[in-house]
Structure 1
Amino acid sequence: MAGVKPKKHLGQHFLKDENIALKIVEALKNIENLPVLEIGPGTGVLTKYLLEKPSWEFYALDVDLESIDYLKSTYPDHGERFQFQDYLKYDVPFERFNVIGNFPYNISSQLFFKIWDDRDKVDEVVCMIQKEVADRICEKEGSKTYGILSVLLQAFFDIEYLFKVPPGVFNPPPKVQSAVIRLKRNNVAQLSCDEKLFKRVVKSGFGKRRKTLRNALKDLNLPDAVTSLDVMNKRAEQLSVQDFISLTEKIT
């Protein structure tokens, strides 16, 4: 781990288990050899295995300049691959690409919202995140864990829960369990409703998840024809992805 110190304000927990690192890289199928972006490479435990994929156009992005400098010095023949860049603010220059990484835990949800924004470009994602976030993303309707990211991501991606990762394989060990998941872009090119409104309906519904949708969506100033629907007597967690799509269609 010499050369890069984990920084609490960046949510860094560096993976130190080589077997898990290899499993994560091998979980990215990248069948079409699309460009791959690694988010938060840290000390490069995934990076070295990604560099062993000669057919992959691979770049590592980090907001930690110490990490970028360390990787450039460790792999001088690949300096152009390591970029001091914030994915959250990055307009990715590829028509299609894949994402991999041990996501910084303090911004993992923000990263998934960015992936949702990039949904027409992102083909596949393999990432390690907090177990509770992984549970939330993979959950189906009817669960208290089911939420905004569950609906938004499941609308456009097939999601697999791959395996759990214990705290002891990190430096420093996080206070939570971790998990690795894979997202694969599905065949839905476009929803049958207004996608911006869909996102707004989902966020508003779960923003007041203890209330019925009739009350949770009041700020949207919905017409009586919508507020009188039976579905408005339900809470957001009771609606499937398709239910949210159908509701958004009715609103428009």
Structure 2
Amino acid sequence: MKSVRPKKHLGQHFLTDLNIARRIADTVDACPKLPILEIGPGMGVLTQYLVKKDREVKAVEIDRESVAFLHKNFPKLHDNIIGEDFLRMDLSELFFGKPFVLTGNYPYDISSQIFFKMLDYKDLIPCCTGMIQREVALRMASAPGNKAYGILSVLMQAWYDVEYLFTVDESVFNPPPKVKSAVIRMTRNQVTELGCDEKLFKRLVKTVFNQRRKMLRVSIKQMFSKEKSASEAFFTLDIMTKRPEQLGIEQFVELTNLVEKELTTCK
């Protein structure tokens, strides 16, 4: 079978450097023994190294041409090649409800959506590795006080330790992307409960970072309405003089609890 043609509408950029492919595949060794789910295997440049890990490997691929290629070239995977859209999949029974490692050369245009979905299954995914756009990787690994620190940083780091492993140049892809790439690893931290309403936490983080240059006392007003307006004392708290990039995870949790308390008492 001929090589698969990269499709622009699927954001396909096939990795051609086998040494880098091997290095990416080896990032799953941080979580040994667990089965592996690879997203977007394309022509199997990572898959060929993952199947040597002596673990169960499943690969989900939305491109029919790639699925046919994988079936022909990786007959041992057989039923473990899943021709579906990862974003629409129910991951709870993928490995009979057992934890697994997520990896892949992720499509850049949906990488954030992939990681947000991962958060919905965080108790099943103790480890996630792979390659994404360098800019996104920097945001995910960024600490408070940096320009790259934002929504993705807070929501991911609340549950995972994020490691920026190495940068990948544009020249090792077909076709070459217009940006540099990076390989990351996320390992589940010890947090089992945030200590606040998780939905409100997510809403708060997104709200304040949408106006990241403003002080919290300005941006957080959007959390309230005319029917439920916060007290004047609430906006005089010390934390309200800060901007969102100055807050760590614990401070966002604290702020979420303050907002929840105000929402339940305000008139």
Q: TM-score range by the shorter chain?
A: over 0.9
- Aligned counterpart for 2:240 among listed residues 223, 232, 238: 232
What is the match of residue 69 of structure 1? Answer: 68
Amino acid at match of 1:141: P
2:186 matched to 1:186?
A: no
The one-letter code sitting in structure 2 at the alignment partner of 1:90 is M
Shift of 1:40: 0.5
In the alignment, is residue 147 of structure 1 matched against residue 155 of structure 2? Answer: no
Measured in 1, the distance between the counterparts of 2:157 and 2:51 equals 30
Q: CA RMSD in A?
A: 1.5
Q: Does 1:127 align with 2:138?
A: no
Q: In the TM superposition, what is the alpha-carbon distance from 1:251 to its structure 2 partner? A: 1.9
* Residue aligning to 1:4: 4
Q: Does the 8 Å contact 2:58/2:77 carry over to 1?
A: no
Helix, strand or coil at the partner of 2:184: strand
Q: Any gaps of 5 or more consecutive residues in structure 1?
A: none
Moved more, 125-134 or 77-86: 77-86
Separation of aligned partners in 2, 1:90 and 1:183: 21
What is the alpha-carbon distance in structure 1 between the residues aligned to residue 65 and residue 78 of structure 2? 14
Matched AA of 1:175: K
Residues 166, 2 of structure 1: alpha-carbon distance in 2 compared, 3 angstrom cutoff: farther
SS of the residue corresponding to residue 52 of structure 2 reads coil
Q: Is the 8 A contact 1:30 1:98 kept in 2?
A: no
Distance in 2 of aligned mates of 1:232 and 1:6: 49
Q: CA deviation at 1:226?
A: 3.2
Bigger mean CA deviation after superposition, 127-136 or 94-103: 94-103
Task: Give the match's secondary structure for 1:211.
Answer: coil
Higher Cα Rg, which structure: 2
Which segment drifts farther, 159-168 or 90-99? 90-99
- Aligned partner of 1:17 in structure 2 is 17
Structure 1 segments of 4+ aligned residues over 3 angstroms from their partners:
none
Instruction: Give the counterpart letter for 2:12 in structure 1.
Output: Q
2:266 is equivalent to residue 223 of structure 1: no
User: Cα deviation per residue 1:30-51 (whole Å; 9 max; x = unaligned)?
Assistant: 5442221101101100001111
Q: Distance in 2 between matches of 1:46 and 1:31?
A: 17
Could you say which residue in structure 2 is the equivalent of 1:114?
117
One-letter code aligned to 1:173: P
Q: Could you tell me the percent identity over the aligned residues?
A: 50
Separation in structure 2 between the aligned mates of residue 218 and residue 2 of structure 1, nearest angstrom: 57
Contact 2:129 2:186 in 1 (8 A): yes
CA deviation vs aligned residue, 1:72-106 (integer Å, no higher than 9, x gap): 01122322111012221111113421100000011
Q: 1:95 to 1:214 in 2, by over 3 A?
A: farther
Deviates more, 1:72-81 or 1:44-53: 72-81
Equivalent positions of 1:199-214 (< 5 A) are: 199-214=202-217
Deviation string, structure 1 residues 163-197 (Cα, Å, up to 9, x no partner): 11000000000110111010000110111111111
Deviations 1:200-221 (A, max 9, x none): 1101111111222222122211
Shift of the 249–95 alpha-carbon distance from structure 1 to 2, 3 Å rule, reads farther
Question: Deviation at 1:131?
Answer: 0.6
Residue 231 of structure 1, CA deviation: 1.1
**SS state at 1:237 partner:** helix
- 2:40 aligned residue: 40
* Pair 1:171 & 2:179 matched: no
